[in-house]
Structures are given as C-alpha cells and as structure tokens.
A = this chain, B = another copy of it.
Amino acid sequence: MTAPHRRQVTGFSNPLVKYLRSLRDKKHRRRERRFLAEGLRLLTDARECGVLPETLVMATDRDPHPLLTALEDAVHVAGGDIVEMEPAVLSKVTGKDNPQSVAGVFAEFDTRLATLDRAKAPIWLVAQALRDPGNLGTMLRTGDAVGAGGLILIDDCADPFSVEAVRASMGAIFTQAVATARWDEFIAWLRQGDGQLVAASLCDATDYRQAPYAAPCFLLVGNESQGLPQAYEDACDLRVTMPMLGRADSLNAAVAGAVLAYEALAALRPGS
C-alpha cells in the first residue's frame, strides 16, 4: 500500500475550511447532504461500522495513535481525501476552543421510511417534534443499547446530522437507522405491515410495567414541552404511562423513551 497523501490546508479563508465550517449549519448540510463528526472515538465507531469519511481532517499537532493510523489507512484505501491543518484552523471548523484533533465529513444517510426493514429489530424508537439535538442523540444511543432498529423522526425534529446530535449519539448515528417523515406518511407506512404503535402518554393509560408489548414495537415519545398531540395518541395501539410521584407531570423526552425501551426489551426478550 502506498503511504496516504496528506494535503496541507492553511489559513482560515481556504475554501475547504469554509466548506467544513458551513457544515455546522443545517441549511448547508441539507444542500451538500454531508455532515461532520468529530473525534477519534466517533470516527473509529464509524469505521468499525463500515462507514468512512469522504474527507478526513487531522490537526498537525495530533498525537500518534494506532486507531488513527487504521482510520487514515482505511480512508486512503477507499480513495478519500486526507487533510492536515493547524489546530487553530481546526478550531474554527469545529467551533470549539479545544477541538478534537480529528474530524471527518460523511455523506448523509438515506432517511426515507422505505429504507427501514421493520422485521430487523423488535424495538423501534419514534420521536415527534423532538427539538433538542442532545435528546435526539441520546435516543440514538439508547436505541443502540436496547438493540433497536432505528429512530424515526416525526414532524419538525432537530437535525440528526447536527454536530450536537452526532456527538450525543456516541457513535450510534452509525449503527441506528434514522428516518424522517410527516405523521401521515409514517402512519401509512406503519399500517402496511406488522407493528404495534405505543405512545408514552401523560394521560390515564396502561401501566408501562403491565402493558402487552408486541414486536415489532414502535415506541413513540412526544415533543419536550407539548407532549404528543391527542390525535397521535388516539392513533396508537397502546398508550402507556409511567409513575409520576412528584410535582412534575412529565419526564425528559429521552429519559421517557429509555425507560419505556428498557421495559419493552425486558418484555420482548425475557432472557436478555
């Protein structure tokens, strides 16, 4: 194997630097259909899932690491672009004072519902109008942990390809399928096959510990401040509720999804 060729990029006004910075912005991500992921751990997760960055960016002051060598070799073999830049320039790209010393540009995944194979997993997470990218990433991470097939984003959600969501997913953006859809599209797709739609409800509903979960089980949580619209709850096969013993009437959306997902996992895989 020939040694990887590393392009040197200097200066804040270099077009590549501008391009990379622009990917922090949803509008530009949408247009380019590309997203940024930062850090050796995240990029190694991607590589181990068979996903490589089109462009690998490394700081000139990076420490050597066998995983970084493996990553660079893999990108080189795949014909990707390998770029070195000064830490100060990379800071501009990542928008942080103490940037990771490595980042990558990835092609966005296909997020159409039609790409999902519902028979692939017993649990799927569904979020409606989830606005916080940290919550979104946390749901991806939880989905990975419970062996979910993926996360379906309904209505106007945070962008799963934002740097914050990718970071909070702790690599699960590369293992979990992600689909985006309007509610009516989702319901039409769901009802074309097997699938139990379960709402995390704030109303009087079935105790989440006693509910008859059935695979493939689609666990739906609502917007952080509004919860689920009533019409959406009405369309569900099952509405479940968790004890709320204090003053608050709801849980954090990612927490509600996780408590429900672990309960469904225990019910659907009693041995796990």
A-side residues, CB < 8 A to B, are 45, 48-49, 134, 138, 141-147, 168, 170-172, 175, 209, 242-248, 250-252, 254-255, 258-259, 262-263, 265-266, 272
**How many copies of this chain sit in the oligomeric assembly?**
2
Alpha-carbon separation in the docked complex, A3 to B26 (Å): 49
15 A-B contacts, Cβ less than 8 Å apart?
A: A45-B247, A143-B246, A145-B243, A145-B246, A145-B248, A146-B245, A146-B246, A171-B247, A172-B247, A243-B262, A245-B265, A245-B272, A254-B254, A254-B255, A255-B255
Residues of B within 8 A of A172 (CB): 246-248
Residues of B within 8 A of A244 (CB): 145
Could you say which of B134, B144, B259 contacts A247, with CB atoms under 8 Å apart?
B144
Alpha-carbon separation in the docked complex, A49 to B248 (Å): 12
Alpha-carbon separation in the docked complex, A239 to B127 (Å): 32
A245 touches B171 (CB 8 A): no
A251 touches B134 (CB 8 A): no
Alpha-carbon separation in the docked complex, A262 to B272 (Å): 18
Residues of B within 8 A of A247 (CB): 45, 48-49, 144, 171-172, 175
B209 touches A266 (CB 8 A): yes
Could you say which of B246, B250, B262 contacts A259, with CB atoms under 8 Å apart?
B262
A171 touches B248 (CB 8 A): yes
A144 touches B248 (CB 8 A): yes
Could you say which of B49, B138, B263, B272 contacts A255, with CB atoms under 8 Å apart?
B138
Residues of B within 8 A of A145 (CB): 242-246, 248, 251
Residues of B within 8 A of A168 (CB): 252
